[in-house]
Structure 1
């Protein structure tokens, strides 16, 4: 095996190969030549998750510096810089006003800034074009899950993943359970036969609800929906995509494969008190996924105040059962005894330390496929029909045509346009079609 290059050579080589001589970053040409090991990064999406990811990068062992931010809203960018500048992290920020970018196209200016790494933590409907732009610019990338909201977006991400591999770029995806030792060791044991053949699984994300941001006077509809993004399918993908994806990803990881079809049920009956002038996403979904070998994964996703709350996974095998978060039951009973690390922090440790070692990994493909698993389930629930993976990926409907040219004055997509009564369209099982 060849010895990996040192980190200075690695960043220099990958940046140059990815972006071309005309776009090779200044850090690759000068800072590393001068002996600096600084990793410069930009943040696209300054909400809670983006700010959190940046803080966790600051907590890593790397010599890191935030050099630009971008958000759809100026207030979010301002709040992120303020929150990240507290204490000793202040020295890790170099974001003058001219490198604070605002608007739906602000990601381009931020990614254009001389940097090694881009953090993309925007609403998922906006991610495919942002990811594509970062890959085209030759940047290493951390992108939060989910990576898209429809089949068109997933195909676009998968195409960009292939480009990122050709350019030898780091692509990390925010499915943090993949970096938690309790999950890693348990699933390794399952793959080693600890519970025999996997027969079925149950995965859950049942919680009490989510935030809602009231409409402000003078807001355009696009501003309202972008600011209130969790409640609109084109920009959020529904609860099954935005949150439940974690558990679906674990189930597919356990199986080492993705489902070929899904049927499901669900509705919007209690969200926001049933007020369709505020939200269009379902408040509960139930899915039956079928894998290529015929085994099943049963999925519950729900937002219900006062109901049974549970987030987790459970696996049945021919020799026992397992909780993938750290326990096996049956003839090979075992319980994880190591330190249970915070996955959000650990994924940033792993990312920065790999860059420091001059190594890369690429999580883009499973990030896109796990996202599509959630989309497959959503479309099965929305339609009330059995939906096939291959057919949906090829011909699934596009929720936000023209998204690359959206501004805050643009009309929102037809899939989320309110009627004369102010009510947003909610998919009706039996009538809704998943296909273009």
Structure 2
């Protein structure tokens, strides 16, 4: 969800506490809508392999547009009927661009374009919407997921699904509620549907490289976008428009971008780490950016298995993105994007090469989602992505504070809740600041 100085949405006040209260108990408007339109997991509705599924989207920026294009490229008999965003122009551009590509699969009337901080509620209250795409900046994700689940909607949620422990706990409860509802939650962790990743992990778990004893993973790139502040823009509007650079919205690079590799780490290790210890810093960020531009985290998994993880975004540096899994009998090298996977013996001789397409994986997650809804066997995979998102947060907290951080602490003790308690469209925000190890407290 993006914003700009030429938008004019409503100016509601939003707090996570209010949002979560609404997520726990369906609003009267949503309840009325659900009464008019039975829960989408009802057997009579779910087991028709050809029935039309109507979709709404919250967040019409680049990732939202990409999700719509991926889903509508691979699925038939689906229809996009409503969109919410902070920016009227974004919503209209998504409608126009997707109509060009997908024709009458895009059927959004003018009165079904909703704008403002609370515009997402209009999508959730729409009785025709069975599936909602949640593709705003990540800070909103836990509350949006919780409310979508409470409204009985199937969900596609982009990664990461949380940027702090408070959001993680919301996701855990939403996962449980979706299982009770019989409603799907598929997340934007496309590597879990990329053929070379799936086959490589299966072979690792089957013992192809022996017992896994450690791993190295890197997500190092050359920079990230930054948007200058426009004339007459409030603090809130500026931060929403420049969301990557504010931790309550993005979670820093380790959560927003590098979570893909961290998800792979947890997938290989068959669960989250026990603890994390790390470092990093900032050298090239704009003055008002809260982001660091590099982090190095040592994660320790069960059975004392170490994983060395690094991420950075520094212009002019060597990019590297991929992971190496070390076993007692050999190695597995799993590259990012479509670079494939390779298996080596202990002498470095290649024993297997696997190809895979990330573009196919992006589409496959949407096909699996739609197929599961129609089959009446909805996929609910939020907990895995929430665990990986919190693993990223755990590493960020270790680096930011200079402390060792345990999984028990972030899941059971941490009180960190980054979402503003009183978020107003025209409101002010605290002066941006960045973490300093030894001074930043572990909360």
- Identify whether the pair has TM-score above 0.5, normalized to the shorter chain: yes
* Equivalent pair of 1:62/1:353 in contact (CA under 8 Å): no
Residue 281 of structure 1, aligned match among 280, 291, 309? 291
Matching residue of 1:351: 369
How far off its partner does 1:73 sit? 1.7
Q: What does residue range 219-298 of structure 1 map to in structure 2 within 5 Å? A: 219-272=233-286, 276-277=287-288, 279-298=289-308
- The normalised TM-score by structure 1 is 0.87
How far off its partner does 1:357 sit? 3.1
When the two chains are superposed, the root-mean-square deviation of aligned CA atoms in Å is 2.4
Matching residue of 1:406: 423
Alpha-carbon separation, structure 2, partners of 1:347 and 1:99: 26
* Equivalent pair of 2:40/2:130 in contact (CA under 8 Å): no
Matching residue of 1:376: 394
* Equivalent pair of 2:277/2:395 in contact (CA under 8 Å): yes
Secondary structure of 1:187's counterpart equals: helix
Is residue 344 of structure 2 the alignment partner of residue 329 of structure 1?
Answer: yes
Structure 2 alignment gaps of length 5 or more: 1-30, 335-339
* Equivalent pair of 2:41/2:373 in contact (CA under 8 Å): no
Structure 1 alignment gaps of length 5 or more: 1-16, 419-423
Is residue 224 of structure 2 the alignment partner of residue 183 of structure 1?
Answer: no
Alpha-carbon separation, structure 1, partners of 2:381 and 2:442: 27
Alpha-carbon separation, structure 2, partners of 1:195 and 1:26: 44
Matching residue of 2:309: 299
Alpha-carbon separation, structure 1, partners of 2:35 and 2:398: 47
How far off its partner does 1:20 sit? 6.1
After TM superposition, the structure 1 stretch with the greater mean CA deviation from structure 2, 324-333 or 257-266, is: 324-333
How far off its partner does 1:293 sit? 1.3
- The normalised TM-score by structure 2 is 0.86
Change (3 A) 1:195 1:223: same
How far off its partner does 1:105 sit? 1.1
How far off its partner does 1:119 sit? 0.3
The runs of at least 4 consecutive aligned structure 1 residues that moved more than 6 Å come to 25-36
How far off its partner does 1:37 sit? 0.9
Q: Deviations over 1:19-51 (max 9, x none)?
A: 964552699899999997111000111010001
After TM superposition, the structure 1 stretch with the greater mean CA deviation from structure 2, 319-328 or 43-52, is: 319-328
Matching residue of 2:115: 102
Alpha-carbon separation, structure 2, partners of 1:235 and 1:303: 18
Residue 361 of structure 1, aligned match among 352, 361, 379? 379
Alpha-carbon separation, structure 2, partners of 1:307 and 1:92: 43
Matching residue of 2:337: none
Alpha-carbon separation, structure 1, partners of 2:164 and 2:424: 20
Secondary structure of 2:121's counterpart equals: helix
* Equivalent pair of 1:120/1:130 in contact (CA under 8 Å): yes
Count of aligned pairs: 403
